[in-house]
Amino acid sequence: MKRNRAGVMIVLLFWAIGVKSQVVRTQMEGVIEPFDIGVSDSRTVNLIFPYSIKGVDRGNPGLMVLKAPGAENVLHVKAGSADFEPTNLTVLTGEGAIYSFMVFFTPAPSLLNIRIEAATSPGAAIILSQGEASEAEMARVMKAVAEKQRSIKGPRKRLYAAELSLQGVYIHDDRIFLQLEFRNDSHMALDVSQFRMYIRDRKESKRTAIQELEVLPVYTHGDIKRIEGKSRHRVVLVLDKFTIPDKKNFVIQLLERGGGRHLSIKVKNKDLVRAKLI
């Protein structure tokens, strides 16, 4: 009888150990392995992320970090001195991911420009601020809009075999998605010197100055800098939701560099308020 009890106790002991180890493994599945980066006090290392940088935390104030001016996804990293102690660096990005680095001093870093691949591990996911869609989600929606068939008979402008037209208006998470088509039926490519959107007075008066309110896109999908010869392509612009005031026009304008193919279309309020959900 005692032998049976001892056998049962041994089985239960091994079962408990197995369950405990399984729980530990489950908890560790989301661990983010850090990348090793060597930095010096005389050279700058550039970390290039797949999405814009939302937050940075450094374990040691002796580590110098700076988001590159004019680039939302590039981080400059440098040691403050030659006696820099190893530390960690954490970066949060716009697709809702966290990247972890172990940073150590080296007199001559072998890698100065490091392109970081998009995080794929579930453990790298973070929750963005309330109401803020991730850039990865925005990229997915913009791609879906670009691939949709024309849904409205919107305004269009054609000049010298080049054409700009509005083909669809959609809304997602309180943002407006404009589906545009750039078309060039000539053999000569069209290089864009300026592409802008603005709201202006519907009627131009010679006695008063014309007031323009610039409208800037939050995100852009597609090439707005060049239209190749004998080609057409879609462009998707993401705007914070708005409506057009009375006696005003919403204008989308494209100007050719060194040429005369200047295209502009006027979008009406009815086009915006009939936006479809995406």
> What digits encode the pLDDT tens for the residues 195-239?
999 998 877 666 555 678 889 898 899 999 999 999 999 999 999
How is the chain split into domains, by residue range? 35-130, 140-277
User: How many Cα atoms are found within 13 Å in the side-chain-facing hemisphere of 20?
Assistant: 6
> Is there a shared CATH topology between the 35-130 domain and the 140-277 domain?
yes
The C-alpha atoms of residue 34 and residue 53 are separated, in whole angstroms, by 17
Please check the confidence at residue 142 and state whether its pLDDT lies above 80: yes
Q: Which residues of 119-150 are buried (b: 16+ CB within 10 A; e: fewer)?
A: beeeebeeeeeeeebbbbbbbebbeebbebee
35-130 CATH pick, 2.40.50, 1.50.10, 2.30.30, 2.60.40 = 2.60.40
Q: What is residue 156's predicted lDDT score, i.e. its pLDDT?
A: 96
Please check the confidence at residue 27 and state whether its pLDDT lies above 60: no
> Which tops the pLDDT comparison, 123 or 102?
102
Interval 43-100: pLDDT, tens: 999 999 988 888 899 998 899 999 988 888 999 999 999 999 999 999 988 877 889 9
Q: What is residue 226's predicted lDDT score, i.e. its pLDDT?
A: 94
With pLDDT > 90 as the criterion, what percentage of the chain qualifies?
55
Q: Which amino acid, 19?
A: V
Tokens 């054609």 -> residue: 158
Q: Which residues of 212-239 are buried (b: 16+ CB within 10 A; e: fewer)?
A: eeebebebebbebeebeeeeebbbbbbb
pLDDT band at 40; cut points 50, 70, 90: very high
Neighbours of 181 (CB within 10 A): 19
140-277 CATH pick, 1.10.10, 2.60.40, 1.20.120, 3.30.420 = 2.60.40
> Beta strand 35-39 with 97-105: parallel, antiparallel or unpaired?
parallel
Tokens 């959900």 -> residue: 277
Please check the confidence at residue 14 and state whether its pLDDT lies above 80: no
Interval 231-256: pLDDT, tens: 999 999 999 988 898 888 999 999 99
